Structure 1
Amino acid sequence: MKKTISITMAFALVATLSTAAFAAVADDADIKKDIGVNAKYVEDIKTSKTISADVVWGEMEFTYSVNGTKTWNAKTHEYDIDTKCEWSAKGNDISVTNHSNTDIDVDFTYEPLDKYSFVKGEFTYDEVTIPTAENKAVDDEILTISTDLTLSGGLSSDVTDLTKVGNVAVTIAEAVQ
């Protein structure tokens, strides 16, 4: 009897665990169901900032000229000197063209050498922002800025050959918004 109860219980357990699955049956053997297909565009392209600029330097050659007259003064036994001092330049221009995909800040600085600290330098523009080259032609004039260096102060009469009196620096960085 134990065996009969065990077998009956086993069948009951199997009957409760099994699941019935039914397949659809079509009369003509064709089943078709339409479902819409959805899509969307997502752009996740990372753009890096690229700083690129052309710097074109003039020759940066300057001449300090003293012109005038010396007239002998018979009363003092010295010369009366009437002079005019001036700087002239050959190639004192610097041009910067922006090829970056961002605006750039450009700073121009002149630093005299210690020995020539009395020679001062000034630029037409000390600081300038040049707009991005994005969506502009390579030769677009808005992408180029030019500045001129002008020297002032004196220079000793013993400096008769072209001599380095200072340094010019051009600093280019992404523009601060």
Structure 2
Amino acid sequence: MRDKKTAALFLSLALACSVNITAFAADESPKTVDQIGGSAVANVTGTYKEGQSGAARYKVDIAWTDLSFTYTSGSEGTWDPDTHTYNGATEGGWGSQSGTITVTNHSNAGITATPAYEAKTGYESAGMEFTETSLQLGTADNGNGENGAGKETGGILTVTPTGTLPENTNGATIGTITVTITASEQAGN
């Protein structure tokens, strides 16, 4: 009989504890439930706050092939004393020489790479021509890599010499190419 009394005591205590429940909400006054099956209601509020997107972080690799070019002057050809003319005349020029600039974007934002050539004083007769006036590369935050990670994006600009060089130019720095990186709205790859 003692076990029945103990069990009844615990059941009574549990019931008493469950009847006197007070619930609080931040903007409401306390509510008291005084019977089994009663309930208390509290309003739940929520606010959506725009999270910060990751700030743009830029890392762009720029690689050049050798940008040493040779200009060959024109030739009158070889004098033919029998015909009194020159044979095999050639025009001066750069031939089919070119170089490349490779741009690789590892940033979480799109970029634009813009090349420009500036001749050094005394070599203004030479220039450089680019296949593109600018190269737009999408973000590396594109999910195209292994396991859904991003993958770098890239492109190549071809550089071709134009114009002429002064006589006796031998390995001189005739100009500089600058590639300027700016932010771009382009996304994707």
Contact 1:95–1:145, Cα closer than 8 Å, also in 2: yes
**Residue 20 of structure 2 is aligned with which of 31, 37, 43?**
31
2:116 maps to: 109
Equivalent residue, structure 2, for 1:150: 160
Contact 2:76 2:86 in 1 (8 A): no
User: Greater Rg, structure 1 or structure 2?
Assistant: 1
- The aligned counterpart of 1:169 is 178
The answer (yes or no) to whether the contact 1:102–1:174 under 8 Å persists in 2 is: yes
Match of 1:45 among 39, 46, 52: 52
CA distance in 2, matches of 1:134, 1:88: 41
Q: CA deviation at 1:158?
A: 1.0
Secondary structure, aligned partner of 2:122: helix
Q: 1:62·1:88 contact (CA, 8 Å) conserved in 2? A: no
Comparing 44-53 with 167-176, greater Cα deviation is found at 44-53
Q: Counterparts of 1:42 and 1:88 in 2: how far apart (Å)?
A: 62
Closer/same/farther in 2, CA of residues 28 and 127 from structure 1, 3 Å limit: closer
In 2, the alpha carbon distance for the partners of 1:130 and 1:148 equals 16
Asked whether the 8 Å contact 1:61–1:91 carries over to 2, the reply is no
The answer for unaligned runs of 5 or more in structure 2 is 1-14, 22-32, 34-39
Once residues 91 and 139 of structure 1 are traced to their aligned partners in structure 2, the CA distance between those partners, rounded to angstroms, is 29
Q: When the two structures are superposed, what TM-score results if normalisation uses the length of structure 2?
A: 0.63
Deviations 1:22-43 (A, max 9, x none): xxxxx95741245558475645
Separation in 1 of the partners of 2:65 and 2:98? 4
**8 Å contact kept, 2:111–2:136:** yes
1:75-122 CA distance string (max 9 Å, x none):
9x9967812323157771101111112111110111111210000111
Aligned counterparts of 1:97 and 1:78: Cα–Cα separation in 2: 54
Q: What is the aligned-residue RMSD (CA, Å)? A: 3.3
Alpha-carbon offset, residue 157 of structure 1: 3.2
> Segments of 4+ in structure 1 off by > 3 A?
27-30, 33-43, 66-69, 77-81, 88-91
CA contact (8 A) 1:110 1:167 kept: yes
Structure 1 pair 74–89 and aligned structure 2 pair: CA distance change class (3 A): closer
Q: CA deviation at 1:130?
A: 0.9
Identity %: 26
